[in-house]
Structure 1
Amino acid sequence: MAISGLRLLLFLLLRSFASLPVHAAARGGSNSSGTDEKYGSFLRNLLEDMPRISEELTHGYMSNLELEIAVRAIGGRCPNISRIYSIGKSVNGFALLVIEISDKPGQKEAEPSFKFIGNVHGDEPVGREVLINLANWLCDNYLKDPLATHIVENMHIHILPTMNPDGFALRRRGNANNVDLNRDFPDQFFPINDEINYRQPETRAIMKWVKQEHFTASASLHGVIILSIALLKDYPSYSKQYYGCPDDKTFRYMALVYSQSHYNMSLSKEFKGGITNGAFWYPIYGGMQDWNYIHGGCFELTLEISDAKWPKAAELPVIWEHNRMSMLNLAASLVKTGVHGRIYASDTGHPIPGLLMIKGIDSEIRASRTYGDYHRMLAPGESYEVIASMEGFRPKATRIVLEEEAVSLDFILDLDGGNGQVKMLRNDNYGCSCDDDKVFHIQEAHLELYLLVLFILLALYLLFKRRTASKFTTRHSQKRPTAV
């Protein structure tokens, strides 16, 4: 109860900051006044970060209704390799439709799954158009093009063209509540986003989706500058430094697969090879990319695929062609490299949802409950010790040398003689407590430290406000309400 009360007070404090006359840093940067550095990282509600998009500029882009028609048309045209489903609705009730492409859409298989997400920011609509082109290309070229056939028959592709249809309709970065959805996910350092009541419906939909599906990797499409971005994990997100996560080599490998398949991304003069570490470029909190990796076991890249947020529609075919092979090769890398296999129980022969770890890398993934299959992305050209474990069983380890092709490796775990019974996991959610009625918690020691700092800030803020107000109330005896 005490913790809940402290969390409520914490949110009231942070919301009071949001009412201050501060312009939030839309992309995690800072302005010349220095106010963004002081307050911007605490704010998810953003002001307009660019001039109003003109009607002329929107010509040639699909409206939300036209996008839905295009999505459903793909399902009608290629019903044998596609499935259309919704993961939820936006604030204004627009369905978040997904196109699943596979030779067995809708069925669970011992195959890796990849998701593409577009239009995270409402004023970056290029991803919507590119992802519709990707779905149409796979639909048209299955059994005609070897790469299309390889992808469709060996994995499941899930395509969400728009995560933020309301922001697109409003022609602004945030959603209908003016919240930047890429700052709205639970953060490993700051508990502000842990409260489910303050999380946006689009964010909840993504979290629930990741929990239900067994995604191995992911990419979100943005637009501003031609480069692809790796991510940080488990490091402070507020200083502009290179922070490599435990899987830094793997993320760099994946980013280079995309960059080197692109028309000109790898030629970038600003970023070597066309890629950069997320924290080094600009730090953020509450990002979708980090949450996918930490809580979903999903390797996600952020892809910046155009040199303008809202380019003219005439440029869209060129942008699609420049990114087509990059998107296909990135998706195909799930089955072309890494280590893949299944985990079984020796006593029954049944698959079990065990944990898979790589020695020396502080990151683990869980095999699926249905088939006990796992798919672990790893950078090729290295030797790895792979460890499979599960409660009630004795762990097993083996060493592999990963070259350019994927390695298949199954594990059969023996019962731990010290346990009479095997305690199975409650659900296959990668240790992610992201049910709608639950919140993410950080360690109590960290929470107490944050709360102490914020209480001090609150006291200073109230003291300053009281002294300032006293200058204007010396002549008035009436009491006035104060909002804190």
Structure 2
Amino acid sequence: MALFSQLLLVLSTLTLARSATLGSSVVDGLDFSSYHDYPAMKNALERLVAKYPSLAKLHEIGTSVQGRKLYAIQITDYVNTREIGEPRFKYVANMHGNEPVGRELTIGLAQYLLSRYGTDHRVTSLVDNTDIYLMPSMNPDGFEKAYEGDCNGLVGRANHNGVDLNRNFPDQFSSSTSLIQPETAAIINWLKTDPHFVLSANFHGGSLVANYPYDNSPYGYSQGFYSKSPDDSAFRSLAYTYSKAHATMSLGHQCQGDNFLNGITNGAHWYEVSGGMQDYNYLHSNCFEITVEQSCCKYPKASTLSSYWRSNKESLLAFMEQVHTGIKGIVTDNSGAPIANAKVKVYGINHDVVTSSQGEYWRLLTPGIYSVTVEASGFKSAVKQITVTSGAAQIHHVTFDRATRTGSFSS
């Protein structure tokens, strides 16, 4: 009888251990037990849209070489109505098909935001005040070729035509020898949509660091050259926001060969990339984008995915909240009609943003004192000295008087 009791105890212990192992893949109600292949990813996104039709919409941004759709799920409180003054934000993952941790994190983030809307104050505030877009896979063809457990390989990295998509965008310093790929063209066209995105990050694997522009320099592949953008201060702050909120990234020595102070790096200072997506975002739209390397192993085993969610969840939310910093406003004439394509200039920072078709602008800035000028064709410019503080973006509307042809800040 004692032997039977001992056997029952052993079986019970094994059952509990197995349950604990299985349960470890579920975090915050999200199941990270396996990777989503293309049909599973599509179904997961479609189920979320069906379950939360007032908060989520599925967009087809483009098509891969092999005909797979590039899906982005939009999440916001009035998903069928454009809310004036609400900034657009995006996460793009799986640009390299064999680096899929971000693919799973964006799918998980979509579920996390939607399931907690209305009960979690932080999530509700983000969804109410941000037009969020999450693209789990920019390179679905490459993902289908890659294989789980391949930490350092190249299988599936490129698209079906063998082109590295993060070397395929038009570059300010060099000319690409590759034709623009369908996946690249899809992003380029997406960036032209009105209003422009304000903030973005794209996810990679193979290291653990938040990388910011510029990725390239006029000096070619000279490793160690710091290629500073006009908004270097803002980009360093954005990258550090992600890094410091991460479980270990800010320590800077997490992967073999890594040596990143505070877990951030200027792209070219690390190694030069010609034709990168983050630089293109910054130079050809209003969008500030960084590149986040999320895992030492490019394609880790699915059994580790829940740990990546735990490590990145706070970073994903904290970085998204940065879209609501700096200054923002609406530019109109004195009758209230919006003025599109007005330029918002900041003295000492040689990078302008332009207003949307509704006159909206968002200008990310670190705390400090700035001289801000708004220029509109046919008018005398509006100029104001603004003290930017940390926290929520300050609102500064601008009005141009059609009688006097002058502009002024109205707040």
Same-fold status (TM-score > 0.5) = yes
Give the distance between the partners of 1:234 and 1:161, measured in 2 at CA.
26
Question: How far 1:392 sits from its partner (Å)?
Answer: 1.2
State the TM-score, normalized to the length of structure 2: 0.83
Distance 1:186 1:416 in 2: 42
User: In the TM superposition, what is the alpha-carbon distance from 1:234 to its structure 2 partner?
Assistant: 8.0
Checking the alignment, whether the CA contact within 8 Å between 2:60 and 2:72 is kept in structure 1 is yes
**SS class of match (2:306):** helix
| 2:68 matches 1:94 | yes
Consecutive unaligned residues in structure 1, runs of 5 or more: 1-58, 420-484
Q: What is residue 308 of structure 2 aligned with on the other side?
A: 319
- Would you say 1:140 and 2:126 are equivalent positions? no
- Which among 176, 191, 200 is matched to residue 181 of structure 2? 200
The equivalent of 2:25 in structure 1 is none
1:258 is displaced (CA, Å) by 0.7
Question: What secondary structure sits across from 1:305 in the alignment?
Answer: strand
Amino acid at match of 1:331: M
1:123 aligns with 2:92: no
1:258 matches 2:242: yes
Matched, 1:226 2:230: no
**Residues of 2 paired with 1:192 and 1:90: CA distance?**
20
Match among 135, 142, 146 for residue 167 of structure 1:
142
Match of 2:347 among 338, 359, 370: 359
What is the one-letter code of the residue matched to 2:221? Y
- How far 1:416 sits from its partner (Å)? 8.6
Between the aligned partners of 1:234 and 1:410, the Cα distance in structure 2 is 35
Q: Indicate conservation of the 8 Å contact 2:215/2:274, yes or no.
A: no
Write the distance in 2 (CA, Å) between the matches of 1:397 and 1:116. 34
Q: Is the 8 A contact 2:205 2:298 kept in 1?
A: yes
Per the alignment, residue 44 of structure 1 pairs with none
3-state SS of 2:172 partner = coil
What is the aligned partner in structure 2 of residue 428 from structure 1?
none
Aligned mates of 1:103, 1:176 — CA distance in 2 = 37
**1:84-483 equivalences in 2 (<5 Å):** 84-109=58-83, 110-171=85-146, 172-192=156-176, 198-213=179-194, 214-232=196-214, 235-236=217-218, 237-240=220-223, 241-269=225-253, 270-335=259-324, 337-346=325-334, 348-353=335-340, 354-369=342-357, 371-380=358-367, 382-405=368-391, 406-415=393-402
Which structure shows the bigger proportion of residues in strand conformation?
A: 2
SS in 2 for 1:212: coil
Q: Distance in 2 between matches of 1:234 and 1:118?
A: 21
Q: 1:81 is matched with which residue: 40, 55, 70? A: 55
Aligned length in residues: 354
Q: Label 1:234 to 1:378 Cα distance change in 2 as closer, same or farther (>3 A).
A: farther
**Structure 1 pair 358/268, CA: closer, same or farther in 2 (3 Å)?**
same
Helix, strand or coil for the counterpart of 2:297? coil
Find the aligned partners of 1:375 and 1:383 in 2 and give their Cα distance: 17
Equivalent residue letter for 2:204: H
> Cα distance, 1:415 vs. partner?
4.2
- Tell me the SS of whatever aligns to 1:88: strand
Counterpart code for 1:321: R
Distance 2:98 2:130 in 1: 31
Report the secondary structure of 1:186's partner residue.
Answer: coil
Residues 27-48 of structure 1, C-alpha deviations (whole Å, 9 max, x = no match)? xxxxxxxxxxxxxxxxxxxxxx
Checking the alignment, whether the CA contact within 8 Å between 2:215 and 2:266 is kept in structure 1 is no
Give the counterpart letter for 1:185 in structure 2.
Answer: F
Moved over 6 A (4+): 416-419
Task: Supply the RMSD in Å over aligned alpha carbons.
Answer: 1.7
Letter of the structure 2 residue corresponding to residue 399 of structure 1: Q
Distance 1:222 1:327 in 2: 14
Report the 3-state secondary structure (helix = DSSP H, G, I; strand = E; otherwise coil) of the residue aligned with 1:192.
coil
Structure 2 segments unaligned to the other structure (5+ residues):
1-32, 147-155, 254-258, 407-411
1:121–1:174 contact (8 Å) kept in structure 2: yes
The question of whether the paired residues in 2 share the 8 Å contact of 1:394 and 1:416 is answered with no
CA distance in 2, matches of 1:409, 1:139: 31
1:66 aligns with 2:40: yes
